[in-house]
Amino acid sequence: MRIIENNGNLTLEQVTDFELCHVFDCGQCFRWEREGENAYFGVAFGKALLLEKQGDNLIFHGVTAEEFEKIWHGYFDFGRDYSAVKTKLGADGVMAEAIAFGEGIRILNQEPFEALISFIISASNNIPRIKGIISRLCENFGEEISYMERRCYAFPTPERLATLTLDEISVIRAGFRDKYILAAANAVADGSFDLERVRKLSTREAKTALMTLNGVGSKVSDCALLFGLGKCDSFPIDVWIKRIMEHCYFGGKETAASEIAEYAARNFGEYGGFAQQYLFYWARENKIGV
């Protein structure tokens, strides 16, 4: 992979294991939108980005090499060998098919607080509505960003959200989730819940810690662990994952989430999060198990 700076843009040449729609439409993030056939626009870590793919090249519009190294290299997980991940998981025939379908998926390393709040919002919700709520949250309470003559907004800080009342935050139309958003923001803002300390715990211990927050159950905690805290063995189980696991690994029988989680830990191990993303995208796009 070669990096070239040209006319205010940065191009990564010969990029492998990266397809825009696989990365941004696999359910792991909510602030990226397709622009045309080969580009997506989004915001992460307080920075906006128009990302375009031309053949095997990725074009980061309006990005310097310094910004790429500071933010986007880690965010897009460029330090990981995805071919090795696929080889390890692909020994399983079901996983091999799922990987072939979503071969360009990467797990994004998102800002921990944003991931936590985003997946609190995701509870009992669908992706279009989740995106709408998060967009309103950022527009009303996030810092304005200027990027390529666009106006967009950073995800609000815990300190900013902690100043709000339930009545004030109701503008985002998150319903019963409002109180959970504010409770989490207050806990992070006042230091009583330290996300960086939680990151250093084992996955099991970190999950237990996250579930002490109101509104954070098993699935939300697993998502926060995987997408915000770098716990790649975490295996979030939602309706799609439950269906496909039952369909492909349990003979179509109704199976408890706890049993599915045990199977994933035993068979996918440290690659559980990657397995979950390949399976989720494959199942949802093809309605497998429905």
Residues annotated as part of the active site: 219
DSSP 8-class letter at 173: -
Chain length of the chain: 290
Q: In the 8-state DSSP scheme, what is residue 34?
A: E
Query: CB-based contacts of 11: which residues, under 8 Å, 6+ apart?
Result: 3, 4, 5, 57, 58, 59, 60
CA-wise closest residue to 112 among 212, 283, 237, 228: 228
Closest alpha carbon to 4 in 65, 80, 74: 65
CA dihedral of 53, 58, 61, 67, whole degrees rounded to 10 = 150
**By the 8 A CB rule, do 116 and 215 touch?**
no
The structure tokens listed for 23 are 């990365």
DSSP codes of every residue in 160-210: HHTT--HHHHGGG--GGGHHHHHHHHHHHHTTSS-HHHHHTS-HHHHHHHH
Q: Rounded distance, CA 121 to CA 130, Å?
A: 6
| Residue 2, token pair as written in the block | 């070669």
Q: How far is residue 69 from each of residues 55, 94, 168, measured CA to CA in Å?
A: 22, 36, 37
> 3-state SS of the chain: helix, strand, coil percent to 5?
50, 15, 35
What six digits make up the tokens of 109?
């390393």
